[in-house]
Copies of this chain bind each other. A is one copy, B any other.
Amino acid sequence: MNEMKKVSLVVIRRLPRYYRYLTELKESGVVRISSKALAEKMRVTASQIRQDLNCFGGFGQQGYGYNVSQLQTAIGDILGLNESHTTIIIGAGNLGRAIANYGSFEKRGYKLIGIFDNNKDLIGQEINKIKVSHIDTLEEFFQKQKPDIAILTIPKEVAVEIAQKLTQLGVRGIWNFSNMDLHMSVEGVEIENVHLSDSLMTLSYKIGQGVKK
């Protein structure tokens, strides 16, 4: 565990991708895979894979490749996917609905237990069997249940206020889609800022470069 703390976030950010590929391999019945074959599938180098996985003590045996199921479980453990996390969604618009209905989340241990909005027309509506509650009932909700993760699919104008409130209420993680970076330095609260448009901008860069080739 102590060893793991030294692992850079750059490597950690690559683990979900390993996890996805290994899950697919496992589901299609692959028992063992060499770093070379995994590398080809993932379009990275075999040495990158060996280096990344060595950060955690290494899972492969020289010449035998990786045990797919074992490696998938181990990476899932590192990522905390093998324990259950309760989540709430703040913002019942299209993006909030898309996330609420995303089946894979539940499979990976994320359990949606509440959806909140301030739009009266949405209160009481059911999304994936969860009733939308008014944002004003958030405090009351936290008194009964302590969600681990809050997913913010709200406009950036209200993001800081809501994030501060969630932090006070004791949330442990914020997955922030509000299109502004949240930087709260509160002990025990972790934040992931997501900017969908960043990868679209990267795509238009690639298109531009492609044309000039």
Binding site for B on A (CB under 8 A): 1, 4-5, 9, 12-13, 15-17, 19-20, 43, 78-81, 83, 85, 93-95, 97-99, 101-102, 104-105, 108-110, 148-149, 172-175, 179, 181, 183, 188, 190-192, 194-212
The CA-CA distance from A84 to B118 in the complex, in Å, is 35
Known: A108-B201, A188-B210. 20 other contacts (CB 8 A): A4-B209, A5-B209, A9-B202, A16-B195, A16-B202, A17-B198, A20-B195, A80-B204, A81-B201, A94-B98, A94-B101, A99-B196, A104-B197, A149-B203, A172-B207, A175-B200, A190-B207, A192-B202, A192-B203, A192-B206
Q: Which 7 A-B pairs have the closest CB atoms?
A: A94-B98, A80-B208, A190-B206, A16-B198, A95-B98, A16-B201, A80-B204
* Most chain B Cβ neighbours within 10 Å, of A85, A201, A207: A201
**A200 touching B105 in the complex, CB below 8 Å, given contacts A20-B195, A85-B207, A190-B210:** yes
Closest to A200 in B: B175
The CA-CA distance from A148 to B94 in the complex, in Å, is 24
Could you name 6 residue pairs across A and B whose Cβ atoms are closer than 8 Å? A13-B202, A102-B196, A109-B204, A110-B204, A174-B203, A194-B199
